[in-house]
Copies of this chain bind each other. A is one copy, B any other.
């Protein structure tokens, strides 16, 4: 059996789950008070921190699923995203609209990465 490691377990979820050389992060969000652009920046910064703890980084993201509370924020989120990804290492990505845990949350990003 491939080993499973978990980090930052909260009783509800683990922020990081590592299975062999695949890393699963729980859905990341920014601060409820922030703009869409800032929530995107905060979310991506959290993802970078978690990937670093897991022994990975943003150039090793395999798949990103992005949920926006409103698709009207698509361009504002993308402007931050497009600047953040490293050319030549872009992950597979999908983006759809979904209300999130609190109405003030505008962006949630779910990451699968390689170690």
Contact = CB atoms under 8 A, between A and B. Distances in A.
Contacts of A101: 71, 74, 95
Interface in A14-29: 14-17, 19-22, 24-27
Interface residues of A, number: 53
**How many protomers of this protein does the assembly include?**
3
A14 B92 contact: yes
A114 B20 CA distance: 10
Interface of A: 1-2, 4, 6, 9-17, 19-22, 24-27, 60, 62-65, 67, 71, 74, 78, 81-82, 85, 87-101, 108, 110, 112, 114-115
B94 A9 contact: no
